[in-house]
Structure 1
Amino acid sequence: MAADLGDRVASVRKRRGLSQSELSELSGISLSLIKKIEQGQRDSVRLETLRALAVALGVKTSTLQDGRGDAEWASPETLDLWGPVRRALAGHNDDLDEAPTADGVKAGYASLLPALGEHRYTEVAAGLPALLRDAAALDDSEGRALRSRILGMTGWLLVQNRQFDSAADALGRAIDEAPDRGTAVAPVNALVWSHLRQGRLAAAAELAQRWADDIEPRFSRATPIQLALWGRLWLYVANVGVRDNNPGVTEDALSLAKAAADRIGREMSYDPAPHRPYGPVTVAQIAGECAVITGRPDRVLAIAESIPAAAVPSRTAAPRLRHRLDVAYAHTQLRQYSEAIAVMQDLYATAPEWLPQQRYARDILAEVVRGRRTLTQEMRGLADAIRLEY
């Protein structure tokens, strides 16, 4: 795999008439790393590194990729926490004392939503195996629809907790069990996000564009939920485009997503499990994400400043948390380390089980460590909390 990647980088570099030293200067990637990549000495390369090389070489990031992406997988502690959930997905359950009912499954599902909305993963992981077991025993059409919803929620959680293979299984089953394509598109969105989180750009783009084309609504008749599901797919296309060094795709996708958001006119929740909002604020947040990836930290901070606090429906919604990480990263790019740490500390106070699952958070804090001569006690404590390696 690494040799294939090295061959691609070397081939494009030579076609551009660049030496390794010139590519290093243009991309900002160290000469030693470029040599290791081209010699096949690296078995994995971060997506950010490939994008920097792609920009310098004038190609798409996916041109340099080898198809495997750059996923960070779950820690042993996280795997242990979610072990009972994975066993329940595999059908390894205790025998039922009595037959479950749809009403009982609905009540169990509803009971998990508050913890899910606040990213209290320990609590959710404890309650989910029994819910999966009971949902699996329902065999009528209502039961299948419930099972699709619960499997979709489970898949989203497993993606959030970096267990991508188990997530793909849960989300694939959620799509198969869905009673209609409108219901199926929520787990499809989660599956696109899983591909994106693993750095699998081509797979994410293909799935998002195919489903966006398939469910394209008629704006004059579409419901807000239909518009939100369609617009969310285009935001993922924009996410892929900016990482793939394809600005035309990013701009077009953001334009389509904005049209859907403007039609809705406000932030709304299109899926309560997990709480997934969509509207003008969500589109602005993704525009900020695109700006931070393209090296425009001032633009990110301007977008954050322009979003009224009252327009954000939940402090713990995943898009809002991710946007705050973009704000923290923008501060680090401007060497505003104290401001970045303040944002990170607020995020940890808001979602202490969410933040350690974000490799992005560790990348940001690593930038702060490199940029400062000494660390405060608060910085050291945060580094320990999010498991920043030495």
Structure 2
Amino acid sequence: MSAPSVGERLQSVRKRRGLTQRELAQASGISVSLIRQLEQGVRDDTRLETARKLAVALRVRTSELIVRPDADGADPSTVEQWTRVRRALERRPSGQPSELPTVKGVDEVLSREAVPLYRKTRWADLALIFPTLLRDIDLLADEGPQTRSLRFRLLYMVGTVLTQTRQFQAAELALQRAQDSATGRLENAAVVNTMAWMLIRQGRLAETRDLATRWADDIEPKMSKATLDDLAAWGMLLIRISTSAVRDNRPGEAEDTMRYARTAAVAMGYEYAPHADYLRTFGPTTWHFKRAENLMVVDRPDRVIAMADREPKSGRQVTASNRNRHRLDVANAHVRLRQYPEAFDILRGIRRDNPEWLPHQRYAREVMGKIVDRRRTLTPEMRDLADFLGLPY
């Protein structure tokens, strides 16, 4: 017997609570039409924030409404673009190349080409160079600490980008291989942090919380002796606990863990990347952005706007993904306050700065969809951005 769908679970809980669809709409702030579409199976999924609002109104955990996805969420063009990367992950290279790669050569390509492309969210370019890098890292004969560290960095980056582009099965494989090459508990914790983020993107909130809590407890440092590496790893795991908890209608747990994460961020004083690994950056600005994200989940757009005006000055090293995710929260806050031009300007700015990052964000489509629905007429720029994001007609 297959698991019940989101709509079937929603209808069952709603009836148990004695609510009509219209009464649930009034209590949750979700439209009757969307509730009807979910229950009738016209739509088979919804955003976590929407599920959380319904869960709050129904007095259940968000995880009781959502269903673990069976497939990746990537669009077909993305899947095709990354075919060679997935094959390189799954298969060891065959045959003997005419020239064997060297640790120094692979390191230079990873550091001087792949990392800058990641910083600029140039996913298409990374899809072109990752297969060769993955082949070369598998051909390295030396298995010393330097090679293991290099293999970890590459596989960790590949897993992170695959998660970013919603190719979850391939991402899980890359992250498992990265964990096999990890040289210490903090590298392992970094992989777990990305795995937790991947689980959140799939709506697997209880699994996220259990995984991140177990690891955060294991690596919790003594503050008097904690290094920046310790604090960065611990802080990000606490962030994952908090962001999953707030989506699962556990506000107290979300607040507590966010407060502990702030302790780590304040102790660090600035954004820091362990071993100069940009993907593992954490500090006061990252915390600031994630705190605003939680506030948007609980529908406090006024506080999100206020936080946007108080960004810490240490934020130059924050990852582009975290900064852009925060910009989407601010755009959504403007939409909630009926400030549509301000919201559109933010989306337009993200497209200008990181055009390959934006189309993979369902959140961006939701924000743009609200702008389209609530304006009587659209400018040519708005129509163009709606097409770019793939909004349905």
TM-score by length of 1: 0.93
Structure 2 match to 1:25: 26
Structure 2 match to 1:177: 181
| Unmatched segments (≥5 aa) in structure 2 | none
CA distance in 2, matches of 1:114, 1:182: 23
Q: Secondary structure at the match of 1:240?
A: helix
Structure 1 match to 2:300: 296
Structure 2 match to 1:369: 372
Determine whether 1:79 maps to 2:82.
no
Question: Contact conserved, 2:199 with 2:205, CA < 8 A, in 1?
Answer: yes
Determine whether 1:133 maps to 2:162.
no
Q: Secondary structure at the match of 2:214?
A: helix
Q: Secondary structure at the match of 2:273?
A: strand
Structure 1 match to 2:160: 156
Determine whether 1:101 maps to 2:102.
yes
Structure 1 match to 2:324: 321
Question: Contact conserved, 1:118 with 1:316, CA < 8 A, in 2?
Answer: no
Q: What does 1:330-369 align with in structure 2 at a 5 Å threshold?
A: 330-369=333-372
Structure 2 match to 1:270: 274
Question: Contact conserved, 1:5 with 1:66, CA < 8 A, in 2?
Answer: yes
Among 160, 169, 174, the alignment partner of 1:165 is: 169
| Unmatched segments (≥5 aa) in structure 1 | none
Q: What does 1:42-121 align with in structure 2 at a 5 Å threshold?
A: 42-68=43-69, 73-91=73-91, 93=93, 95=95, 96-111=97-112, 112-121=114-123
CA distance in 2, matches of 1:380, 1:40: 29
CA displacement at 1:63 relative to structure 2: 2.4
CA displacement at 1:199 relative to structure 2: 1.3
CA distance in 2, matches of 1:379, 1:315: 29
Question: Contact conserved, 1:156 with 1:274, CA < 8 A, in 2?
Answer: no
Determine whether 1:200 maps to 2:201.
no
CA distance in 2, matches of 1:272, 1:75: 33
CA displacement at 1:19 relative to structure 2: 3.6
Question: Contact conserved, 2:72 with 2:167, CA < 8 A, in 1?
Answer: no
> Considering only aligned residues, what root-mean-square deviation do their CA atoms show, in Å?
2.2
What stretches of structure 1 move > 6 A for 4+ residues in a row? none
Question: Contact conserved, 2:158 with 2:174, CA < 8 A, in 1?
Answer: yes
CA distance in 2, matches of 1:198, 1:240: 11
CA distance in 2, matches of 1:26, 1:176: 48
Question: Contact conserved, 1:2 with 1:42, CA < 8 A, in 2?
Answer: no
Distance 1:33 1:381, change over 3 A: closer
Read off the aligned partner of 2:335 and give its amino acid letter. T
Distance 1:272 1:78, change over 3 A: farther
CA displacement at 1:216 relative to structure 2: 1.0
CA distance in 2, matches of 1:72, 1:303: 34
Read off the aligned partner of 2:115 and give its amino acid letter. L
Structure 1 match to 2:285: 281
CA displacement at 1:167 relative to structure 2: 0.2
Among 379, 382, 385, the alignment partner of 1:379 is: 382
CA distance in 2, matches of 1:295, 1:10: 24
Read off the aligned partner of 1:301 and give its amino acid letter. I
Read off the aligned partner of 1:306 and give its amino acid letter. R
Distance 1:365 1:271, change over 3 A: farther
Aligned length: 388
CA displacement at 1:314 relative to structure 2: 4.3
Determine whether 1:186 maps to 2:190.
yes
CA displacement at 1:277 relative to structure 2: 2.5
